[in-house]
A and B are shown apart, each in its own frame.
Chain A
Amino acid sequence: MDDFLAARSQMALSLGFHIIYACIGMVMPFFMAVSHYKWLKTNNEVYKHITKAWSKGVAIFFATGAVSGTMLSFELGLLWPKFMEHAGPIFGMPFSLEGTAFFIEAIALGFFLYGWEKLNKWFHWFTGVVVGVSGLASGILVVAANAWMNSPAGFDYVNGQYINIDPIKAMFNDAWFTQALHMCLAAFTATGFAVAGVHALMLLKKQHNDFHYKSFKIAATFATVCALLQPISGDISAKDVAQRQPAKLAAMEALYKTEKPAPLLIGGIVDEKNKTVKNYIEIPGALSFLAHGDFNAEVKGLDQIPEDEHPPVAITHYAFQIMVGLGTVMMIISLIYFFILWRKRTILNTKWLLKLFVFAIPLGYIALEAGWVVTEVGRQPWIINGIMRTIDAVTPMPGIAWSFYLFSAIYFSLSLIVIFLLYRQIKMVPILYKSSNIDQ
């Protein structure tokens, strides 16, 4: 494996790993805060058990999220030193605010996990909320940094020099809001479906109905609401991309030729050599509408973009299809859920719906990873869109392939351990549930 490819793969692997834990760290505190609140309000012990059981799982994810994030802040330099040398001072603002947010989060987490009997109960609840809010804030900030790579702002690029740097403008670049909104919804959708699915599975196994039913409701409510909003936000993102990165949009849609009106392709096998797509379903004019809000608008194809600035079309296109496809599936599940809830008031006896949720456990995360592949691969060959090429940013050190193999092995074994731990945690729920004292 050549070093450049290894560096890209290692970056992708580390981010793809981190994002899962980061999303859980961002979202679970909100779920916990809800059940914690219900416990404090209703004094129903079940809610306390839920909060505690969740918080133990979350502690595992937090640690993994924190160490993989620490890893990332070094990796940016280890793998892309030339990029960081110039970009650091420009897009560093969100990272420094993010540092503050992490810090608050880590402190609040200390209070929350270790404060059960020590703190005033509302203050304790509040620390849990702080964990969630600061986690969400750090997610938004880091996505703002990524948005800057898509939509560079806050400096002038003159003769290879980066001058007139304005970090605030860089942070509030054109893409930050749409990306952050879409990302937050994705985090809630993915984590919500995963958690709801696990509890649905337990319900199907007839385990402690009340505990799992209440947990399921909390997670499913977040998940379904966000899954319904996600396509709207995705549409805003797509219009944004059409404006600022026509090459990415063309790759997403595998649009080799500029067309007016442009059709939307569903599915399709991309042949990168001959620049064609086979076996697709075509919806006339739909792409024009999605990209520009007008069924007759012209959509720029890859033929209008210099060949050496083409992103990899196949990966981007497939990843986009996966994201949108799964997004649609989850939206439909959410509609069914609300319909059943409206008609029957309870879903406990609707086995097939519970099964649907079990089926949906991994979908959100797959969509989320696919979405990031669209964004990142679709930006290639640029690391800073239109300014710096990825290949010019990579570290001069040879032998990165070894580093990639090593870190792959580490991430792989960590994932296995986490899955194993979680499995045990869930298996222990009946025991936790029986004993009234479930402290540490």
Chain B
Amino acid sequence: MEQVVIAFLCLAILLYFLLGGADFGAGIIELFTSTKNRSRTRQTMYHAIGPVWEANHMWLIIAIVILFVAFPRIYTTMSVHLHIPLAIMLIGIIARGTAFVFRHYDAVKDDMQWLYNRIFRYSSFVTALFLGILAGSVLSGKIDPDATNFADAYIFGWLNWFSIAVGLFTTALCGFLAAIYLIGECKTDEDKKRFIKKAEYMNVAAVVFGAMVFFSAAMEDVPLMNWVVYNKVGLAAVTLASLSLILLWYLLLKGKTQILRVLAGFQVTMILVAISYAHFPNFIRLKGGDVVSLYETVAPEKTVLSLGWALVLGSFLILPFLGYLFYKFQQKEE
């Protein structure tokens, strides 16, 4: 059952990155869209993510619940030492979620829209950035449980070059995912072209920030090279991700939407595999070389057993329903 629970945890994290990420990305793209095209971007976006956005964010909750039920030490280590970035990310989640709904459901469309839009865009950016920073911090080896002063215990664990580079990289990836996703939702060729352009920019940004991640890893002594070059699976994943990049550009120019989506999802999955496989089952790397590992901190057997069953039964209920939701709203209205 332990394996099942871990598999669900990985799945939830992955899907949150993909679906939630695309969702944040939509806001990020809007942020970087010229004023004159914004309202069209907004419409396409609303159309595409309106029905599924709440479901997309459930993956985060599933991941958190799995963490605190089955791996409480991981959950508490993160909540104590990464309190500040978590709180910022939460503020981002609150702001963008409410702004998104408010701007659509406000019965009167007036100047308030200006405010909602502002909030939505900036908070999407902040949320994605801090999600990335959190991911970076967990890997960075800078979290120091024995620190005696405030800055070491609560700030430098996440405020370091590596975490920030991962944050920026994540932001670019989110924008990229969203652009790719939205290409398929466009009604006119003109819109389509715009999103293709956006996807290209975001992809370039991702490559640049990706390079920054490697530099900062070297600066901060994060053994990133060991994970992605000297580890067979890591290397394979990175290679596949890079190869698919070429294919992706080709398809992008051709405007093939469905395969593009799959490919972009695949690419992000590979990136996550690459950075996590080599040190699995370690989850958090602490300062001084200690790790918090999934296997070692797992909750007692009965808890894991009942959680596992809850997840398995839950997915029998959820997945068909969810699939149908995506399917139903994928169909183009004739």
Do residues B72 and A89 form an inter-chain contact, with CB atoms below 8 A? yes
Known: A111-B325, A427-B107. A78 touches B83 (CB 8 A): yes
Query: Which of B55-63, B206-214, B237-245, B264-272 lies at the interface with chain A?
Result: B55-63
Does B249 make an interface contact (CB < 8 A)? no
Which of B75, B299, B302 has the most CB atoms of chain A within a 10 A radius of its CB? Answer: B302
Does B64 make an interface contact (CB < 8 A)? yes
Nearest B residue (CB) for A60: B105
Known: A89-B299, A90-B303. A95 touches B69 (CB 8 A): yes
Closest chain-B Cβ to A180's Cβ sits at a distance in Å of 18
Known: A89-B303, A165-B303, A424-B106. A73 touches B69 (CB 8 A): no
Query: Which of A64-72, A216-224, A285-293 lies at the interface with chain B?
Result: A64-72
Do residues B68 and A88 form an inter-chain contact, with CB atoms below 8 A? yes
Return chain B residues, CB-CB under 8 Å to A115: 328
Do residues B101 and A59 form an inter-chain contact, with CB atoms below 8 A? yes
Contact of B79 among A86, A104, A395, A427 (CB under 8 A): A395
In the complex the two chains form, what is the Cα distance from A89 to B2 in whole Å? 13
Known: A82-B76, A114-B51. A76 touches B61 (CB 8 A): no
Return chain A residues, CB-CB under 8 Å to B253: none
Return chain B residues, CB-CB under 8 Å to A428: 107-108
In the complex the two chains form, what is the Cα distance from A425 to B70 in whole Å? 43
Secondary structure class of chain A's binding surface, majority of residues:
helix
Do residues B310 and A395 form an inter-chain contact, with CB atoms below 8 A? no
Do residues A421 and B105 form an inter-chain contact, with CB atoms below 8 A? yes
Known: A56-B107, A92-B307, A410-B94. A70 touches B318 (CB 8 A): no
Known: A60-B101, A70-B93, A88-B72. A165 touches B300 (CB 8 A): yes
Known: A68-B94, A92-B303. A421 touches B87 (CB 8 A): no
Known: A85-B72, A85-B76, A110-B51. A103 touches B318 (CB 8 A): yes
Do residues B57 and A104 form an inter-chain contact, with CB atoms below 8 A? no
Do residues B80 and A67 form an inter-chain contact, with CB atoms below 8 A? no
Do residues A397 and B83 form an inter-chain contact, with CB atoms below 8 A? yes
Do residues B64 and A110 form an inter-chain contact, with CB atoms below 8 A? no
In the complex the two chains form, what is the Cα distance from A403 to B85 in whole Å? 12
User: Interface code B320-332, partner A: CB below 8 Å = 1, 0 otherwise?
Assistant: 0110010011000
Return chain A residues, CB-CB under 8 Å to B94: 67-68, 70-71, 410, 414
Contact of A110 among B54, B70, B153, B300 (CB under 8 A): B54
Known: A89-B299, A89-B303, A417-B98. A110 touches B75 (CB 8 A): no
Does A396 make an interface contact (CB < 8 A)? yes
Known: A63-B98, A167-B303, A414-B98. A425 touches B107 (CB 8 A): yes
Closest chain-A Cβ to B95's Cβ sits at a distance in Å of 8
In the complex the two chains form, what is the Cα distance from A403 to B83 in whole Å? 10
Nearest A residue (CB) for B75: A77
Does B288 make an interface contact (CB < 8 A)? no
Do residues A398 and B150 form an inter-chain contact, with CB atoms below 8 A? yes
Nearest A residue (CB) for B110: A424
Does A352 make an interface contact (CB < 8 A)? no
Do residues B83 and A93 form an inter-chain contact, with CB atoms below 8 A? no
Return chain A residues, CB-CB under 8 Å to B76: 77, 81-82, 84-85
Do residues A113 and B51 form an inter-chain contact, with CB atoms below 8 A? yes
Return chain A residues, CB-CB under 8 Å to B104: 59
User: Interface code B281-325, partner A: CB below 8 Å = 1, 0 otherwise?
Assistant: 000000000000000000110110011001101100110011001
User: Interface code A108-120, partner B: CB below 8 Å = 1, 0 otherwise?
Assistant: 1111011100110
Do residues A167 and B52 form an inter-chain contact, with CB atoms below 8 A? no
Contact of A89 among B58, B61, B69, B329 (CB under 8 A): B69
* 12 further A-B pairs in the complex, CB-CB below 8 A; given A67-B94, A95-B68, A114-B329: A70-B57, A81-B76, A88-B72, A89-B299, A110-B51, A111-B51, A165-B303, A397-B153, A406-B91, A410-B91, A417-B102, A421-B105
Q: Which residues of B contact A (CB under 8 A)?
A: 50-52, 54-55, 57-58, 60-62, 64-66, 68-70, 72-73, 75-76, 78-80, 83, 86-87, 90-91, 93-94, 97-98, 100-102, 104-108, 150, 153-154, 299-300, 302-303, 306-307, 310-311, 313-314, 317-318, 321-322, 325, 328-329
The 3 closest A-B pairs by CB, nearest first: A92-B69, A77-B79, A100-B314
